[in-house]
Structure 1
Amino acid sequence: MTDSKVTSLDVARKAGVSQSAVSRVFTPGASASQKTIDKVRKAADELGYRPNVLARAMVSGKSRIIGLVVAYLENYFYPEALEKLSNALQAQGYHVLVFMASQTKGNIDSVVEEILDYQVDGIVLASIAMSSDLAERCDKAGVPVVLFNRYEEGEGLSAVTSDNLSGGRQVAEFLLAGGHTRIGYIAGWEGASTQRDREQGFLEGLKAGGQELFTRAVGNYEVDTARTAAREMFADPGKRPDAVFIANDHMAFAVMDVIRFELGLSVPGDVSVVGYDDVPPAAWLAYNLTTVRQRANLMVEETVKALLAHIDTPDTAEARMVAIDAPLIVRGSARIPQGWTRT
């Protein structure tokens, strides 16, 4: 065993190829024959060689690293979506660094400042927002930013979301068709575009059906806050809603538990409950939750497409706002109107 580090030149000599051929084999997207690839990888394995990614980045000016920022992972939607996003970027030859941040802009700004120090090629912000001055700094640094499941008006950033307006309207139409007359809403974090659009679509749907919102509370996309909101909303038996739309499934599960196990009410016999996201537990028999599906595969596909366009063609790529169709998934947590069927 030797203390000297194996170099690409050592691999080239052992494989009987040029040093540039070794470089091509280990450079994503570079061209090399299968015969050369096999010879180089065999020699590299025998010598224990690993390419120096950081050194290559210094030479090429590209780190092949994407910074991925997420606010929280408690909601089942994000681990699944971020796994898909990481896999999709890795398939394109990029490495992914994951950073955690809170939803407040000040915290996110400091995290993004740190990410820029890593010389990343691009940044994906999952369900968080960034200030306009930091967006401008990223632009000046030549680092494109794409927002996932969130958008910012007027910032000139590409963003991919589900069609939250349409999703909210569908829930209103479904509950009205079920004959509900006292319909409540438990909101998410009110600084989020997803929350605003879901509620706006919901209210528009109720208005189109000749109704207004019966009661409202804020769950802030947090389980404990959602539980408190549910207790307050259902505290007075004479003023209880007969249906409630909750801004995401993560909160909806907590609300259902309060309704059934603390208050002794039946779902959907006494109260219909509808969520948003369609995370895996929504299909469990314990919840059987009617909800709006966020199509993570399509959202990830569009996010990667937008990010790579900004990286590969920075002078011509334009900011894109993509809203993916979000279908209502009908299960058993809400009264099913006549003519509607379970999904």
Structure 2
Amino acid sequence: MPNDKVTSQDVAKRAGVSQSAVSRVFTKGASASQKTIDKVKKAADELGYRPNVLARSLITGRSRIIGLVVAYLDNYFYPVALEKLSNALQDQGYHVMVFMASDTTENIEQVVDEILDYQVDGIVAASVPLSSDLAGRCRAAGIPLVFFNRSQDGDNLTSVTADNYAGGRKVAAFLAAHHPERIGYIAGWEGASTQRDREAGFRDGLQEAGLEIQSRTVGNFQTDSARAAALAMFSAPHHPDAVFVANDHMAFAVMDVLRHELHLSVPGDVIVVSYDDVPPAAWAAYSLTTVRQPTNQMVAQTVKVMMEAIGAEGCAPENIKIDGPLIIRGSAPAPKGWLG
């Protein structure tokens, strides 16, 4: 029997069970006895049967697909986080469809239109802003929307982020304990909530310690921009002896500039602290002191609120912020007497 003509009725007949039993065996979370499962899967293997997921979605009204929209993957944080997110959603019986977008409103609108055309059960927006109009269209379509590692103003939006403000304050307290003469800050993209909150926490923490930022440049969360920002900041005669870089992706470029182009020692001439704790931060070449994004917890919370939103209409929006620890390494050793 040709594989493309094998139906669930054929499997049921071969296994000696009802068609509904076949459906239960191939539906994640449905109940069936082990004896029935064994018979159905044996018959399916013999006939070369595969369930038609798209056809089932027409019956159930659920595609079992989550649309994931992301702007860029060159930052190490996103490939790691999105792999974990995809695996966690698959554990819940969902598949992830990835859509790439830029930070331009027009492009994002086109991408969201495409996502909605696929009749997805939910949307996770990672590192991209959505207008209130787009968010409203998702709600009108009954599609739950969760922001991952990015928050937006609005009472009707759900987001899951690290506690970036608290992380910025931790960096301020840590640098203050080093008693630096001049403090620098290399900002990320100004439109990102992660950038805004990290800098706000950093500034407030410094103010509490009686300090302030003496030099500020913008790296836009990009390698080339971070390199240019570092050259501008540290080519000056009285450059900072301590710098907070808004994420690890930029910090690697900054450290390369300091060591290999400006011939400054890290941490001898400049101590460097960053944010994310992506895998290369632990490499001996960087040994970067950084605030760790609690990725596992962020992913777990994103999946939790998404499943709750899919399962219940009118689920209350949440803004979930998860604290992460400061990981101390060689680019900024613990100051004398530091207790954390």
Counterpart for residue 319 of structure 1: 317
Distance 1:32 1:262 in 2: 65
CA deviation profile, 1:68-93 (whole Å, cap 9, x unmatched): 11111111111111011000000000
SS at match of 2:291: strand
Q: 1:4 to 1:322 in 2, by over 3 A?
A: closer
Counterpart for residue 258 of structure 1: 257
- Residue 106 (structure 1) shift: 2.6
Distance 1:325 1:162 in 2: 6
SS at match of 1:239: coil
Counterpart for residue 296 of structure 1: 295
Q: Partner letter of residue 331 of structure 2?
A: S
- Residue 290 (structure 1) shift: 0.2
Superposition pairs of residues 157-168 of structure 1, within 5 angstroms: 157-168=157-168
Counterpart for residue 231 of structure 2: 231
1:338 paired with 2:336, answer: yes
Q: Partner letter of residue 102 of structure 2?
A: S
TM-score by length of 2: 0.98
- Residue 335 (structure 1) shift: 4.3
Counterpart for residue 143 of structure 1: 143
- Name whichever of 256-265 and 173-182 sits farther off: 173-182
Distance 1:228 1:118 in 2: 41
Q: Partner letter of residue 274 of structure 1?
A: V
Distance 1:4 1:148 in 2: 39
Counterpart for residue 172 of structure 1: 172
Counterpart for residue 62 of structure 2: 62
SS at match of 1:322: strand
CA deviation profile, 1:125-183 (whole Å, cap 9, x unmatched): 11111011111111010000000000111151110000000100110110110111200
- Residue 4 (structure 1) shift: 5.2
Contact 1:11 1:44 in 2 (8 A): yes
Q: Partner letter of residue 51 of structure 1?
A: P
Unaligned runs of 5+ in 1: none
- Residue 113 (structure 1) shift: 0.9
Q: Partner letter of residue 251 of structure 1?
A: M
- Name whichever of 150-159 and 215-224 sits farther off: 150-159
Q: Partner letter of residue 234 of structure 2?
A: F
CA deviation profile, 1:89-120 (whole Å, cap 9, x unmatched): 00000011011111233322211110000000
Distance 1:307 1:106 in 2: 26
Q: Partner letter of residue 101 of structure 1?
A: A
SS at match of 1:161: strand
- Identity, in percent, stands at 68
- Residue 229 (structure 1) shift: 0.4
What is the aligned length?
340
Distance 2:189 2:259 in 1: 25
CA deviation profile, 1:274-297 (whole Å, cap 9, x unmatched): 110000110111000000000100
Counterpart for residue 249 of structure 1: 248
Q: 1:276 to 1:4 in 2, by over 3 A?
A: closer
Distance 2:69 2:127 in 1: 9
Q: Partner letter of residue 312 of structure 2?
A: T
SS at match of 2:275: strand
Q: Partner letter of residue 5 of structure 2?
A: K
Distance 1:38 1:69 in 2: 39
Superposition pairs of residues 20-169 of structure 1, within 5 angstroms: 20-154=20-154, 156-169=156-169
Contact 1:44 1:50 in 2 (8 A): yes
TM-score by length of 1: 0.97
Contact 1:167 1:326 in 2 (8 A): yes
Distance 1:105 1:329 in 2: 36
Distance 1:200 1:262 in 2: 30
Counterpart for residue 187 of structure 2: 187
- Residue 327 (structure 1) shift: 0.9
Distance 2:270 2:4 in 1: 71
1:307 paired with 2:326, answer: no
- Residue 239 (structure 1) shift: 2.3
Distance 1:4 1:286 in 2: 54
Distance 2:4 2:275 in 1: 56
SS at match of 2:31: coil
Counterpart for residue 329 of structure 1: 327
Q: Partner letter of residue 215 of structure 2?
A: T
Contact 1:291 1:330 in 2 (8 A): yes
Distance 1:203 1:269 in 2: 24
- Residue 2 (structure 1) shift: 3.4
- Residue 30 (structure 1) shift: 1.5
Q: After the TM superposition, which parts of structure 1 deviate over 6 Å for at least 4 consecutive aligned residues?
A: none
Unaligned runs of 5+ in 2: none
CA deviation profile, 1:175-204 (whole Å, cap 9, x unmatched): 110111200000011100000000000000
Contact 2:3 2:47 in 1 (8 A): no
Distance 1:4 1:301 in 2: 38
Q: Partner letter of residue 271 of structure 2?
A: S
- Residue 205 (structure 1) shift: 0.7
